[in-house]
Structure 1
Amino acid sequence: MTVLECGNDLVVDDCGLMFPDDDHPGVDLILPDYSYVIENADRLRGVVITHGHEDHTGSLPYLFKDLPHPVPIYGTRMTLGLIEGKFKEHGIKGVPLIEIKAGQTIQLGCIQAEFWAVNHSIPGAVGIFFTTPAGNVLHTGDFKLDQTPIDGVHTDFAALARFQKIGVDLMLSDSTNATHAQFTPSELEVGKALEPIIAHAKGKVIVASFASHIHRLQQVCDAALRAGRKVVVTGRSMIQNTEIARKLGYLNVPDDCLLDAFSINNIPPEKLVVLCTGSQGEPLSALARMAGGSHKTVGIEAGDTVIISATPVPGNEKAVTRIINLLAKIGADVYDKSRALVHVSGHAGAEELKIILSIVRPTHFMPVHGEAMHLRAHARLAQATGVKEENIFILENGESLELHNGSVHIGEKVKSGVIYVEGSRISDTSDYVLRDRTSLGSQGVVSISCAVSYTTSSIIGAPVVVFRGVSQQENQQLTDTIKANVQDIIRKQLANGKRNGALEREVRNATSFLLQESIKQRPLIIVTILAVA
């Protein structure tokens, strides 16, 4: 999420989310902290979206639930189609969704936004050129320079050359593949690899891909039809996105070539191609359920072919490997990027990034959309193409740039951070809670309860010690040692006048040290002191 401010006007540029990794147990989605936007909602003139991927649209339902009044969202037809489906799922109504096209210009207060075509892994992707009284800002959005695009849409070099003549004071550019030294291959090359695999497969073919990768889905469908196979779509987001894409004319598949997953029992396996979710190893995805034998309608048997048409997002490698191993045990023939060119990125490689920098020739540059190593690599590319080192900015979340008369410098910080979503609701989960969850999952928990009398400074009965998920939980000698240690600690601390939380803290620390010394584990320790008369 990027926010542009000019005078009394504010515009949000993209509104995405992140997916959790192993450090976020129990968390389903991670949103940017958009409290600054809520606090300035009276100045918000609109939201502009470059394309329909989750990392650019996923926070919209949550933001618009919290806004005191709706503002217009501007995007291409495909982008708005996906947003509309998302809002319907969240029960959000009354938001103006305004379709724009590449080449169109809109005015949002004192901020003018011109949309220009880029090629990406989803139809309807655009970049945005912002013109303001303080200066001009170019945001590329996510892009690549595919010269043989599936839908015929190229990244608009003429628009970039025109922006260069006008003057680009600050450029924000996609850094995802800045560490990849070469050009990103064309999406057309994936189709060339998919066709013979599908044509020569003996059993059914299952293709797992991102549900929003409409160009990829089109190529799979084309290959299936040429091989005389019907197409089955399964997985909630895959079904939803294919319906939207077909309705809007971005996915062309004859009706008689699509089958419902519940009606395939009498179709020979060699006549089927199944499009499904699960390319990232998600445990509840269609592919994971097929591999585990729990999918309601589609099973995988020895001799079937599975194509994982995606690259694991960092952090998902283990989950994907787990699925591949399950498929291998079944006897499926598995193809991924390491075996054939069944996936190419939708992001520009280093040489493409240098081409864009050389065309635009921005005065100032800020790499965006990537991890720290990608941003640094992109900064080096900008410097190599002529941007002065002192004019290159790598910012952290919450930091800002101020643009005035063509000059750019670091501005004031604003409130930032992340918001966790669990289930369908925003949660109040803190980093402390996440640490507890991680500890519970990796080390287990020990619960200690003890009744004491503060009147007589004595222990009432014996402490109760309960283990859960601890490797030595059936070790009676360890349990007895902890009980004796707890009694000793409590007696000493009662004699020193310790009460309540202070008493619990002493017991917790002493037990943690004992467990670390005896079994080399540090489980979560919960201490409850019950005061009785």
Structure 2
Amino acid sequence: MSDNQDAGVSIVPIGGLGEFGLNMMVYQYGDDIIVVDAGLMFPEADMPGVDLVFPDITYLRENRDKIKGIIITHAHEDHVGGLAFFLRQINVPIYGTELTLALAKGRLREYGALEIAQLNVIHPDDTVQLGCFHLEFIYVAHSIPDTVAVAIHTPVGIIVHASDFKFDQTPVDNRLTEVHKLAALGEKGVLLLISDSTNADRPGFTPSERSIYPDLNGVFQQTTGGLFLATFSSSLHRVQQFIDLAVEHHRLIAVSGRSMINNIRTASELGYLDVPHNILIDAREANRFAPHEVVVLSTGSQGEPRSGMALIAKDDHAFLHIEPGDTVLISARIIPGNELSVRHMINHLLRRGAHVLHERNANIHVSGHGAREDLKLMMNLVRPKFFIPAHGEYSNLVQHAELAEDVGISSDNITVAEDGDLISLTPDFCGVRGKVPAGRVLVDGKIDMGVENIVVHDRQQLAQDGMVIPIVVLNNNSGDVTAGPDMVSRGFVHMDESEDLMNEAKEIVIHAINHLSPGSKSETETVQEEIRVVLRRFFKKKTDRRPMVLPVVMRV
């Protein structure tokens, strides 16, 4: 690599390239580092007992003295949800728009990080200097207000970090994407564009948020009984439409779910939501009114087990209940990985006699992310020399890269990267030149309670194959078996129905111990390991399963 390339800007995706969530991008020039976004991801089905997933920030901890600040582009959890986890290890100034930081405060307070947070509110017309990086901000339309893209002026050229966006011509809050700023940057000359790939597989333009209003209105008009609405608590443009419809149809709004209550309160206090006086009621008061006089607005669009809508669906909610003939509207995209939990929730709702509408059977949701034509428009406005697709699974990144070629960006100037890639950017080069530590930190309970991968593996094995506990008592002098072995099975086989299998397993254990040397018999750990090995081999042969074997050896 040439000296010129070595003197360039280093770009490191810590998270968000290869998955949905964990968005975090690092930009470094010399001894100056800035970080854009600090997202989290919710656990996948193969992560039993895990509550939250954060990006591994080992690289940033090793370079903490170089970090000048962190910029949060908007208040969705996949961009801001990991901020407390970050701050508890690296405390640097935080920059974000008014609503973004206001919503972030709640999560920071919950995890005891608000007191140390250095929060700096920025507006789209502001500029910020962090080390050698000069930042300007571009307002972009998204499903939550106050979202910005970031133009990063570096010693080697301009980088546009586009964040999440779409080109909504009739946004709910009447704030358009600042196309003129993007075009002006394109005129100056943009060296690199990093852009959201979420909907790189969807043709056309993403419809306006307002486009679903007539269909939502039709649901309100046709529903004479109870009406339950579920969406993301951060989808504030959707929430505003629900509020407007409730006013038009003379329904009070009972809000369920802590995050929904907090976000509506914060956004209305700051003027980002227009909430008429006395339209909101405590969800505990909903039963005081006739069903046609109230609409329930709840969290739980992804079927999260303890969310408001999931509890309502199973009739486990303390005071909100579905009656036959009620309508439930799930106004959100089903995030990949959540299909099963959403399907279970819908089945429970149907058992209660509800009429259920969702994105696959009604026009009641529209994405906040640009589709293929939006993505092309962003590239044509900015006209970058180099391009890196971000924010999505690998297939999304590849499809976005193909779009870049369609609009005329040379394939040699497109880099499809993954988490941990060390990308070098100079005026004449953009490509991967190494790797840095990257991955996932799994959290069980408190955010400082990490879960090692081996623990998750053990949980997966227990969930799939169960466990067997053989208990044997040995003579302390001779090492001979004096009692047992007894067998305890949990999640593997039913003891009463597998007596022959367990009796044979006992004989296997006795035979294994008897064939150990006197010296080995005296070492408890050696005996335990021998029992574990022979039983795992035996159970695999007999049942084609590998239960976890936890031998207990006692001596008398």
Q: TM-score range by the shorter chain?
A: over 0.9
CA distance in 1, matches of 2:175, 2:466: 54
Helix, strand or coil at the partner of 1:169: strand
SS, match of residue 46 in structure 2: coil
Note if contact 1:189-1:341 (Cα within 8 Å) is conserved in structure 2.
no
Any idea what the Cα deviations from partners look like across 1:478-533, whole Å, max 9, x if unmatched?
A: 22111111111121133684744443333223212322333333222112333x37
Say whether 1:483 aligns with 2:506: yes
The alignment status of 1:527 with 2:536, answered yes or no, reads: no
Check the 8 A contact 2:140/2:147 in 1, yes or no. yes
Corresponding residue of 1:2: 25
Q: Does the 8 Å CA contact 1:134/1:406 hold for their aligned counterparts?
A: no
- 1:404 — aligned with what? 426
Q: How many residues align?
A: 530
SS of the counterpart of 1:265? helix
CA distance in 1, matches of 2:536, 2:299: 44
SS at match of 2:462: helix
More deviation, 516-525/340-349: 516-525
What root-mean-square deviation, in Å, do the aligned CA atoms of Structure 1 and Structure 2 show?
1.6
2:104 partner letter = I
Q: Which residue of 2 aligns with 1:248?
A: 270
Aligned to 1:512: 536
Q: Give, in whole Å, the separation in 2 of the partners of 1:430 and 1:2.
A: 24
| Corresponding position: 1:190 with 2:221 | no
From 215, 220, 235, the equivalent of 1:213 is 235
C-alpha contact 1:238 1:277 (8 A) present in aligned 2: yes
**Structure 2 residue identity aligned to 1:491:** N
Cα contact 2:444–2:450 (8 A) shared by 1: no
Q: How far is the alpha carbon of 1:465 from its aligned partner?
A: 1.1
Write the deviation string for residues 66-101 of structure 1: whole angstroms up to 9, x where unpaired: 22xx32211111101111121122222142211111
* Residues 66-465 of structure 1: pairs in structure 2 closer than 5 A: 66-67=89-90, 70-92=91-113, 93-453=115-475, 455-465=477-487
1:126-182 CA distance string (max 9 Å, x none): 100101112221110001111111111222221111111222111110000001122
Alpha-carbon distance in structure 1 between the residues aligned to 2:207 and 2:520: 72
Question: What's the CA shift for 1:111?
Answer: 0.6
- Over 3 Å counting, the alpha-carbon distance change for 1:484 and 1:429 in structure 2 is same
Is the 8 Å Cα contact of residues 449 and 464 (structure 1) preserved in structure 2? yes
Q: How big is each residue's C-alpha offset from its partner over 1:411-446, in whole Å with a ceiling of 9 and x where there is no partner?
A: 332221111111223334222211211121222111
Select between 209-218 and 90-99 the one with higher mean Cα deviation: 90-99
Larger deviation, residues 432-441 vs 361-370 = 432-441
TM-score, normalization: structure 1?
0.96
Aligned: 1:63 with 2:86: yes
Contact 1:199 1:223 in 2 (8 A): no
Q: Give the match for residue 492 of structure 1.
A: 515
Deviations 1:25-48, CA, capped at 9 Å, x for gaps: 111110001122222222211111
The one-character-per-residue Cα deviations of 1:8-31 (angstroms, maximum 9, x if unpaired) are 211110000111111111111100
Q: Is the 8 A contact 1:169 1:406 kept in 2?
A: no
Per chain length, whose mean CA-contact separation is higher, i.e. which structure has more relative contact order (CA < 8 Å, sep 6+)? 2
What is the percent sequence identity of the aligned residues? 39
Q: In 2, are the aligned partners of 1:17 and 1:54 still within 8 Å (CA)?
A: yes
* Whole-Å separation in 1 of the counterparts to 2:524 and 2:329: 59
Structure 1: runs of 5 or more not aligned: none
Tell me the distance in 2 between the aligned counterparts of 1:452 and 1:112.
Answer: 73
One-letter identity of the residue aligned with 1:156 = E
Aligned amino acid, residue 202 of structure 2: H
2:25, 2:525 → 1: CA distance?
Answer: 44
Query: For the residues of structure 2 that align with 1:52 and 1:367, how far apart are their CA atoms?
Result: 21
- What are structure 2's unaligned runs of at least 5 residues? 1-23
Q: Please state how far the C-alpha of 1:320 moved relative to its aligned partner.
A: 0.5
Contact (CA 8 Å) 1:208, 1:309: kept in 2 or not?
yes
Match for 1:127: what amino acid? A
Instruction: Determine if contact 2:111/2:447 at 8 Å carries over to the other structure.
Output: no
